[in-house]
Structure 1
């Protein structure tokens, strides 16, 4: 039989086209990963990779074997999930990904000790990725506190609503003094914004065209966006570099508004139906650890 860890090493090298990156993901040394792949090639009697000083490419045989290896690993995971379900055990590692640390601080961490007492055999791993999430290259069990773009990109994912909010528009007093305070969306033509690099398009400011509208479809105004970044939007806006879209109930935003470092703009034209979700994989046999996490933290929602 093929060892699971050996197949995983091979699949990771194929995924990253790099022994070094595969080793980093497995917290091993490149030499250890290379040794596992070499042993696998010896057993198969064929080369899996073409190695050069710059690239690691799959051979034709390697491409065919990759399909088989992935199938074996998927079956192994499905068998493990089935066994856990049948035994009713809440065990194993659970990887959770969010797009900012504040979401964890407000919705997860205050009750984490209680969860760990209830489920001591679940090993939790929390990560933050501020740019657009790619579930293929960065797989996790749960994606927590993510906007609707992830569901649009991956319609096969399951999702649950975490909360609904407004998507506001903010700017610093210095910026508004320089560019003027817009009274309607038509006044935005000579304004600029700080945008997210993963937004499509990445120079579109979300703003309703009709005041006090409760419409579901989001509307946009295309602006000049000299700065595109995955982080620090509020700080850059405070420095007077442009308008930003931000959730009005974000703690950083609320504090900046309270301290008069940011000013709400065009409040009558804000998008009223922004929604934040949790996403998880649509599998035939749901893992108990995933269900335990979702049910527990959603039960705390009224305390957030």
Structure 2
């Protein structure tokens, strides 16, 4: 593969990413004419049309969409390999972009651990972002994501941090208004307090059941969900770190304890970033210190 081919791919990736030749030219410092010429040469070499161009718009062809995804992953891996090779024998340094669940887990457990890591390794620059949305590790450029639940992509590197127990809870004042709840289907008569998950799945060895949000209070914030449950607004589904103290002191009642669920909290990393020593070092740090910090937060909340 010659230089024209590589330049064509980089130009195509820039145009596809930014949505126009003008925006790509501004981002790369190349002229619109040069970008257009290099993309045209690439299309000629491949004998396919990657872009549909008009005077007012630009869009990827069906082939172009898939070609973009494959080339982007390949170049990301090449960039990571170059960075890894350059820093193999050097002091730990560089940036790590982390996306984590928020709330108590993110703010009271993960954040203090990252502060400690930053203090221990001052040459590594940690950038922490809290988000409840499911990020795309490839396209969003995160080095590490901390998430609860099943791993969506088996090609990613995952490392278990902790297993949380998720409880269904409500205030005593609310539950005194209803007959005892013995089965998940009976929750349909109660208001619900939901975050980003609006479909609750219940399962045992012999039975599975689902409930969708119909009425109640919605807020993608665990702390506020806890407050809403204590205020009697409905039944909430929350991990033990949020509700254990409230259940112990009687502020909340656990509903359907036999249906409590286990949820895995994991570190997730794209394969291309896992080879970097600073990423491995941070993953080791979090795995080593997580349980102690988690237990301390539970103790402080008593």
CA contact (8 A) 2:80 2:272 kept: no
Quick one: distance in 2 between partners of 1:15 and 1:234? 41
1:244 maps to 2:245? no
> Which residue does 1:123 correspond to in 2?
125
* Post-superposition CA distance 1:258-294 (Å, at most 9, x none): 77654322224322x3321111223497110111101
> Which residue does 2:26 correspond to in 1?
32
3-state DSSP of counterpart to 1:138 = coil
1:83 maps to 2:86? yes
Q: Displacement, 1:148?
A: 2.8
> Which residue does 2:220 correspond to in 1?
230
Q: Displacement, 1:194?
A: 3.3
> Which residue does 1:280 correspond to in 2?
269
Q: Displacement, 1:247?
A: 0.5
> Which residue does 1:27 correspond to in 2?
none
Quick one: distance in 2 between partners of 1:81 and 1:75? 10
CA contact (8 A) 1:50 1:59 kept: no
1:289 maps to 2:278? yes
CA contact (8 A) 1:194 1:225 kept: no
Q: Displacement, 1:100?
A: 0.9
3-state DSSP of counterpart to 1:299 = helix
Uncovered stretches (5+) of structure 1, i.e. residues with no partner: 24-29, 210-214
Matches within 5 A, 1:1-304: 11=13, 14-15=16-17, 17=19, 32-33=26-27, 36=30, 38=32, 40-44=34-38, 46=40, 50=53, 56-58=58-60, 66=68, 68=71, 71-85=74-88, 87-144=89-146, 146-149=147-150, 151=151, 153-185=152-184, 187-197=186-196, 199=197, 202-206=198-202, 209=204, 219-226=208-215, 230-231=220-221, 232-250=224-242, 253-254=243-244, 256-257=246-247, 262-271=252-261, 273-283=262-272, 286-304=275-293
Higher helix share: 2
Quick one: distance in 2 between partners of 1:260 and 1:52? 67
Q: Displacement, 1:203?
A: 2.6
Quick one: distance in 1 between partners of 2:51 and 2:292? 53
CA contact (8 A) 2:166 2:237 kept: yes
Quick one: distance in 2 between partners of 1:64 and 1:187? 47
* Post-superposition CA distance 1:144-182 (Å, at most 9, x none): 2x2232x1x111122222112211001234432444441
Quick one: distance in 2 between partners of 1:72 and 1:269? 46
> How large is the RMSD of aligned CA atoms in angstroms?
4.2
3-state DSSP of counterpart to 1:108 = helix
Question: TM-score, structure 1 length as denominator?
Answer: 0.70
CA contact (8 A) 2:144 2:269 kept: yes
Tell me: CA distance 1:275–1:31, structure 2 relative to 1, closer, same or farther (3 Å). Answer: same
* Post-superposition CA distance 1:183-240 (Å, at most 9, x none): 444543533433444x4xx43244x55xxxxx7x995442553355533433443454
Quick one: distance in 1 between partners of 2:107 and 2:180? 34
Question: TM-score, structure 2 length as denominator?
Answer: 0.70
3-state DSSP of counterpart to 1:233 = helix
